[in-house]
Chains A and B, each alone.
Chain A
Amino acid sequence: MFKKLFVIAIVAGFAVLLWSYLRHYTERTTLNDLSTYYVDNTAQEIGAANVVTAIVVTYRGFDTLGEVTILFVAASLIAMFLKSMGTEKSRNPRPASLILVTAQKLLFPLILIFGVYIFINGHLTPGGGFQGGSVIATGFLLWLMANPDGHAPKGLLNTIESISGFGYVAAGLFGLALGLGFLDNRFLGLGTLGHLFSAGVIPIIYSFIGLKVGAELSNVLHHLNEIQNEE
């Protein structure tokens, strides 16, 4: 009874807060100053056709580095905790159905290629490193569903993760060394707007981020799969 009253009071509080926001809500018909700057100057300054990518990788590149770091710390902690529970016990997972195994053989490479396509074209079309990486992890998840006791190439995943994390920071520092600023994309030449090889170093950085996110999330899923059916 008391608990329910408490919940109702919290919901009512949120309603009051949101109501005061809703009362003054008017739809915006123009962009604000910052958005106008991004829309007007992205094509000349960054050379990326996708404005969101230009903001994420270059204008707010330091925030993206922070996000990648958070993901790295989370994946490391999961690996640490799940490893200490003891591996190499007898596992007898239920075998996957024939339909799943057969469909996985066809879909797994296609999903991987689609993920790579998303992060390589991140500066041209919607999507980018995080999206492509999570699509790759979804493909790996399908593989894990079809092969519950399969051994993933853990060393390969860890190597990809380390190299791409190092490459991302190295690309940022390279811009700093050339006197442009940390994570500046212009030291490679901007190319023609809308071409695959354009926007300076953005495609390279986004490929590193995509590989890193894909390998990290796949590692997390593999760790979670390993501890199933242990007892």
Chain B
Amino acid sequence: MNVTIIFALLLAIVTVTMAVAVLIVKKIRTAVLVSGVVSLIASIIYLLLASPDVAMTEAAIGSGLTTIIFFYVLNKMRSSDV
């Protein structure tokens, strides 16, 4: 086993733990942030799996834009009395 595989396995374990944490965590804000971190680590895993094209998309859209769009929608839901 070389170093890359061990690093990728560690990242995979962290990703799965974070994904379970999204379901368990009570605050929605924390859940959105943690799901952003899941995408960020997933993009590193894609890079280790030799697909930099997918990694760039995942880093920009998954952890950047999606997180902020979730926050915009959350803010809108809190300010209107649903």
* Interface residue ranges, A against B (CB under 8 Å): 52, 118, 126-128, 130-131, 134-135, 137-138, 141, 217, 220-221, 224-225, 227-231
Shortest Cβ-Cβ A-B pairs, 4 listed: A126-B52, A134-B60, A131-B56, A224-B72
Give every chain A residue within 8 A of B57 (Cβ-Cβ).
Answer: 130-131, 134
In the assembled complex, the Cα of A224 lies from the Cα of B70 at a distance in Å of 10
Q: Which of B61, B65, B76 contacts A228 (CB 8 A)?
A: B76
* Interface residue ranges, B against A (CB under 8 Å): 52-53, 56-57, 60-61, 64-65, 68-69, 72-73, 75-76, 79-80
Contact B65 A229 (CB under 8 A): no
**Minimum CB distance partner of A137 in chain B:** B65
Q: Which of B60, B61, B69, B79 contacts A229 (CB 8 A)?
A: B79
In the assembled complex, the Cα of A9 lies from the Cα of B21 at a distance in Å of 20
Interface class of chain B by DSSP: helix
Minimum C-beta distance from A213 to chain B (A)? 10
Give every chain B residue within 8 A of A128 (Cβ-Cβ).
Answer: 53
Minimum C-beta distance from B29 to chain A (A)? 16
Minimum C-beta distance from A198 to chain B (A)? 19
Interface class of chain A by DSSP: helix
Minimum C-beta distance from B6 to chain A (A)? 17
Contact B79 A224 (CB under 8 A): no
Give every chain A residue within 8 A of B53 (Cβ-Cβ).
Answer: 52, 126-128, 131
29 CB-based A-B contacts, threshold 8 Å: A52-B53, A118-B56, A126-B52, A127-B53, A127-B56, A128-B53, A130-B57, A131-B53, A131-B56, A131-B57, A134-B57, A134-B60, A134-B61, A134-B65, A137-B65, A138-B64, A141-B65, A220-B69, A221-B65, A221-B68, A224-B69, A224-B72, A224-B73, A225-B72, A228-B72, A228-B79, A229-B75, A230-B79, A231-B80
Given A134-B65, A138-B64, A127–B52 Cβ distance below 8 Å?
A: yes
Contact A138 B52 (CB under 8 A): no
Minimum C-beta distance from A116 to chain B (A)? 14
Other than A128-B53, A231-B79, give 8 A-B pairs with Cβ distance below 8 A: A126-B53, A130-B57, A131-B53, A131-B56, A131-B57, A134-B64, A138-B60, A220-B69
In the assembled complex, the Cα of A137 lies from the Cα of B73 at a distance in Å of 18
Give every chain A residue within 8 A of B61 (Cβ-Cβ).
Answer: 134
Minimum C-beta distance from A217 to chain B (A)? 7
In the assembled complex, the Cα of A209 lies from the Cα of B75 at a distance in Å of 31
In the assembled complex, the Cα of A52 lies from the Cα of B65 at a distance in Å of 24
Give every chain B residue within 8 A of A126 (Cβ-Cβ).
Answer: 52-53, 56
